[in-house]
Amino acid sequence: MTDLEAGLRAVVRGEVGFDVTSRALVTMDASNYRRVPLGVVAPRDADDVAAALAVCREHGVPVVARGGGTSIAGQATGTGVVLDFTRHMNRLLSLDPAAGTAVVQPGLVLDRLQEAAAPHGLRFGPDPSTHSRCTLGGMIGNNSCGSHSVAWGTTADSVRELSVVTARGDRLRLGQEWAGAPEGLRALVEGDLARLRTGFPELPRRISGYALDALLPEKGADVARSFCGSEGTLGILTEAVVRLVEAPRARALAVLAYADESAAAEAAAGLLPFGPLTVEGMAADLVPTDADLPRGGAWLFVETGGATEAEARARAETIVRAADVLDALVVTDPAGQRALWRVREDASGTATRMPDGSEAWPGWEDCAVPPARLGAYLRDFRGLLGSHGLRGTPYGHFGDGCIHVRIDFDLLTDPGVARFRRFSEDLADLVVAHGGSLSGEHGDGQARAELLPRMYGGELVGLFERAKAVWDPDDLLNPGMLVRPAPLDTNLRFSVLPRGGPVDVAFGYPTDGGDFSAAVRRCVGVAKCRTTPASGSAVMCPSFRATGEEEHSTRGRARLLHEMLAGELVTDGWRSTEVRDALDLCLSCKGCRSDCPVGVDMATYKAEFLHHHYAGRRRPAAHYSMGLLPVWLRAVARLRAGAAVNALVSLRPLARAAKRLGGIAAERRIPRLATEPFSRWWRRRRTSPSGSGALVVLWPDTFTEYLSPSVGRAAVRVLEAAGLRVALPPTLRLPGPRIADGTSAVVNPLTLLGGRGRVCCGLTYVSTGQLDRARTVLRRTLDLMAPVLAGDTPVVVLEPSCAAALRTDLPELLHDDPRARLLADRVLTFAEALERLAPDWTPPVLDRPVVGQTHCHQHAVLGDTADRRLRSVAGLFGELAGGCCGLAGDFGFEKGHFEVSAACAEEQLLPAVREAEAGDGTTVVLADGFSCRTQLEQLAGVRGWHVAEVLAAGLDEDGPRERGLEKRGPQERG
């Protein structure tokens, strides 16, 4: 332990972390920059902050304040001690509806303030797209704005008083009329009034530099306002009094379509006289193809408010009539507005990939010009991009003249970094020529501070340096930011990554050019994975929501993988225990694959890591017990020992011993095995497929086959009732020519029923990182399926996790086998099969409410559109919850995971089920995944149903129609 660490531990009551993991998690923010700190302190209160500053001052160690870590210019990173305010100093201290103010701590997430203010008809005006995870302290440090700034201004406009601790330990209460000003600040300002009155451009989004003009006498000598945007370089914020605004009772969103971004930019300023709440712009390159937007190449999102929905709509329609647009859409439904706003808010992530998949980066994220000059500026900006051979898609706050853009800089090679510098210098000159600000929202940080003399001139920048010296004479707070900055092309986070070619990995990473480093680089730090609680149907990231720890967020794990590849802080590569421990609580829910704006797939990264980490070494017991589950279950089935196994594990001493040997949580009950596997029932049934409908192959996944065959039987019943012909996959190789690529003659799958070989999706091997075994199993499966792949027969998979594995893991793991893509493209879910192959069939109308949870893999990989339509047609009404059940295959069974597993279930699933249970008993609990059904049974005593079972019961006029929320044992009694 160093003297610094020992000194901090002696005086700080919050956590002090000098370990590798604590440091690795904060090496980066959402910028291009990386700095490795000495340690991290999570202060409990202002006394802790003062104590930490005293120790750091004694040792000459710099201090950086950090909130949500979503800063885009590098100002939330440092080489000394990082203060993390999100763990303890994250409370709303008070809210005064009459005064319209709130007292907050710096680590409070903005959405928590909004939720507290909403019942009083109030809100905090600024709302960056990261509102679900950014903190008030970070917003004050960067003077953040957001989409509603045309109505309610910047964070500085909403600040009343600030409590700060200076680097030398002074506790100040900043306000107007020089309240709280450090000694010497007033003399500095009054000695240079002329320069302060003429040196700052007039525009709504001027964030760059220090706001020393707020200290002018005619502006009230507002010390608190001047402190905003200082990026943690002047003092450490410990408390803030902020102003709230009255929220409109109703809102309407007008989406205005234009031919291109220039046309939208030209039109934006002309809409301001109508008093809109937002004027946001974005172009088609950043919009998902399935987004329900009016026809056009670029759009303005213009929000209006009113006392009633009719008033808000009328204002929106007035704007539509006044605007010269190609097309327009006005939405008053709150859910519809949220869906559209998600398109805009996710742009900060989606912009990191160009349409062709190449990488794009921040650095010139938020320049601002006078709104009336935005169109001209964008044309010049496009020309500058072209002259440097660069690409980027602008979007952002068109009504304020503030543009966000990610640019396809090459930051991996020396020539690319040199071009980054040249472009940065030229763009700074262009912004200044248009009367703009280098930063219009996110601060200067390292990305732009070096270029401030081009905007302000040397003398005013010299005044900034003197102001910094008044507040922080020892240059202890966030040095290298704003004044005396580090060069903009140093400390780049990519410079430490290996450059000798792609890392040797098992998966193909097709969207990252086969490069694992590029896959890890996907995480740019926008931190949507830190959103809590879960919003709507979102899944990502259940382990973070359960623990609140950055280490267990998607971003945190990506940061550790980055440091593993860098090899500077995490030094044991694939053998790293720090990375292993961070990945341990990853549920492999794949929520990040769909919910992360940049498509980080931590489930795949985890499987890759485990594959390398345990190569040639003994694995955890759970990898042998649950990772090899198909092997054990198949052996039991062949011995016809299901009943005997059930009897044995019902004896508590034997069950305890089995769980201890298998690495299974003591709190779990071992699921009962079916006494008759699904395929044995199929053979015993001796019914040949008949009828004139389409032929489908029904995949006998491990869970349906051995643990829940009632689902398979019900699916056969429904598919045949819909007129489809059902077959099982081939189980023996036929004599004759081997089919290697699916191009040979068609063989009828109907002739291949029976036999002892088995297909498998490889899910349990993939999730435990046994990728060599997974490849062997999958190649054997492709061999068995070759006759099917020679034709065009679809494959229906009932278990969502198995369907997802076949659609994604299979082609990504066997990327060198063309048959893998053939099979992946054949996979249909149960609902998709009915919708596509039996479109004229009408299911039984059950007229029942449903509750439950969309399977996390269904949400992330498969989609649930067909399922929603099927439920609607069948009269199954009600929304299923989002999130994750928490069992997630083997995760919830593994020793040490029970508490997190249960916490995930308690977030959405179990409360929804309990609420339904308190009703009239008619609600059906839907759970298509075996894990979800098991979690429901073990934690709530509730029987969950696959939708196939519900429909089959409707055909039979029996089952859940009468039983409702029945509480009875396991899913399958044999």
Contact 755, 730 (CB under 8 A): yes
The pLDDT, as a whole number, for residue 838 is 96
- Rounded-to-integer distance, Cα 63 and Cα 52, Å: 9
Cα 287 to its chain centre, rounded Å, is 17
Using the CB atoms, write b or e for 830-856: b if 16+ within 10 Å: bbbbbbebbeebebbebebbbbbbbbb
The pLDDT, as a whole number, for residue 958 is 47
Rounded to 10 degrees, the C-alpha dihedral 35/37/42/45 comes to -90
The pLDDT, as a whole number, for residue 756 is 47
Phi, psi of 961 (to 5 degrees): -55, -40
Contact 352, 360 (CB under 8 A): yes
- Rounded-to-integer distance, Cα 794 and Cα 810, Å: 16
> How many residues are present in the chain?
974
Q: What is the mean pLDDT of residues 813-825?
A: 97
- Rounded-to-integer distance, Cα 63 and Cα 12, Å: 15
Phi, psi of 300 (to 5 degrees): -110, 130
- The per-residue pLDDT for range 385-418, each reduced to its tens digit, is 999 999 998 899 999 999 999 999 999 999 999 9
Look at strands 695-699 and 924-926 and give their pairing: unpaired
| HEC-encoded secondary structure of 195-218 | HHHHCCCCCCCCCCCCCHHHHCHH
Look at strands 695-699 and 725-727 and give their pairing: parallel
Q: What is the mean pLDDT of residues 831-859?
A: 96
Q: What is the mean pLDDT of residues 237-242?
A: 98
- Rounded-to-integer distance, Cα 433 and Cα 33, Å: 27
Q: Is the dihedral of CA 675, 678, 680, 681 positive or negative?
A: positive
Does domain 250-442 fall into CATH 3.40.50.300? Answer: no
Contact 367, 431 (CB under 8 A): yes
3-state secondary structure of 413: coil
Contact 330, 252 (CB under 8 A): yes
Contact 370, 40 (CB under 8 A): no
- Rounded-to-integer distance, Cα 110 and Cα 132, Å: 7
- Rounded-to-integer distance, Cα 180 and Cα 313, Å: 46
Q: How many CA atoms lie within 13 A of 447 on its CB side?
A: 29
The pLDDT, as a whole number, for residue 757 is 67
3-state secondary structure of 382: helix
Of the two residues 732 and 938, the one the predictor is more confident about is 938
3-state secondary structure of 646: helix
| Residue 535 pLDDT level (bands cut at 50, 70, 90) | low
Q: How many CA atoms lie within 13 A of 451 on its CB side?
A: 28
Non-local (6+) Cβ contacts of 270 within 8 A are 322, 323
| Residue 522 pLDDT level (bands cut at 50, 70, 90) | very high
Strand partners, 397: 402
The pLDDT, as a whole number, for residue 348 is 65
Complete DSSP assignment for 853-887: B--HHIIIII-SHHHHHHHHHTTEESPPB-S--S-
- For the chain, the average pLDDT equals 92
Phi, psi of 292 (to 5 degrees): -90, 75
3-state secondary structure of 253: strand
Asked if the model's pLDDT at residue 747 lies above 90, the reply is no
| Encoded amino acid at 180, one letter | G
Terminus-to-terminus CA distance in the chain, angstroms?
59
Contact 512, 98 (CB under 8 A): no
3-state secondary structure of 64: strand
| Residue 225 pLDDT level (bands cut at 50, 70, 90) | very high
- The per-residue pLDDT for range 552-568, each reduced to its tens digit, is 999 999 999 999 999 99
Fold of 1-246+460-478: 3.30.465
Strand partners, 242: 102, 159
3-state secondary structure of 336: helix
- Rounded-to-integer distance, Cα 830 and Cα 947, Å: 9
Rounded to 10 degrees, the C-alpha dihedral 851/856/858/860 comes to 130
| Encoded amino acid at 837, one letter | L
Asked if the model's pLDDT at residue 973 lies above 50, the reply is no
- The per-residue pLDDT for range 14-64, each reduced to its tens digit, is 999 999 999 999 999 999 999 999 999 999 999 999 999 999 999 999 999
Of 16-20, 141-145, 357-361, minimum mean pLDDT range: 357-361
Cα 338 to its chain centre, rounded Å, is 17
- The per-residue pLDDT for range 876-895, each reduced to its tens digit, is 999 999 899 999 999 999 99
- The per-residue pLDDT for range 462-502, each reduced to its tens digit, is 999 999 999 999 999 999 999 999 999 999 999 999 887 78
Contact 52, 83 (CB under 8 A): yes
- Kindly state the tokens that stand for 818: 């063309």
C-alpha distances in Å from residue 94, one per residue of 57, 100, 543, 803 = 32, 11, 30, 49
Of the two residues 740 and 810, the one the predictor is more confident about is 810
3-state secondary structure of 6: helix
The pLDDT, as a whole number, for residue 962 is 39
Q: How far is it between the farthest Cα atoms of the chain?
A: 98
- Rounded-to-integer distance, Cα 130 and Cα 110, Å: 9
User: For residue 340, what is the enclosing H or E element?
Assistant: helix 334-345
Asked if the model's pLDDT at residue 909 lies above 50, the reply is yes
- Rounded-to-integer distance, Cα 139 and Cα 161, Å: 14
| Residue 745 pLDDT level (bands cut at 50, 70, 90) | very low
The percent of residues above 70 in pLDDT, for the chain, comes to: 95
- Rounded-to-integer distance, Cα 56 and Cα 22, Å: 18
Contact 353, 285 (CB under 8 A): no
| Encoded amino acid at 110, one letter | L
- Rounded-to-integer distance, Cα 61 and Cα 92, Å: 31
Residue with tokens 């809409």: 271
